């Protein structure tokens, strides 16, 4: 199962400029996983996970579960 992060809004204040990089990337590129964010932005995976949790508590991002099956998988046989 893959968890994807989605941009919601910019918070009033951001203490770390790396948080802003994460938010701008999500806003411009749509939902993605924390691993993809870490690799793309050149941040450590552990740092990215912690930053996303802080941003989630601030209401700036949300996480959702990507379904393992898409609508095409439920078509007529």
Q: Which domains does the chain have, with CATH numbers?
A: 2-66 (1.10.10.10)
The pTM is what? 0.81
User: pLDDT of 20-53, one tens digit each?
Assistant: 999 999 999 989 999 999 999 999 999 999 999 9
How many CB atoms lie under 10 A from the CB of residue 52?
22
| Least confidently predicted of 7-11, 49-53, 62-66, 67-71 | 67-71
How much of the chain is in helix, strand and coil states, percent to nearest 5? 50, 15, 35
Mean pLDDT in the chain? 88
């Amino acid at each position: 199962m893959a968890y994807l992060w989605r941009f919601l809004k910019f918070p009033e204040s951001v203490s770390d400029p790396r948080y802003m990089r994460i938010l701008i990337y999500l806003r411009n590129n749509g939902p993605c996983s924390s691993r993809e964010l870490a690799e793309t932005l050149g941040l450590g995976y552990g740092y990215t996970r912690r930053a996303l949790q802080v941003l989630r508590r601030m209401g700036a991002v949300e996480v959702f579960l990507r379904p393992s099956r898409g609508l095409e998988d439920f078509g007529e046989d």
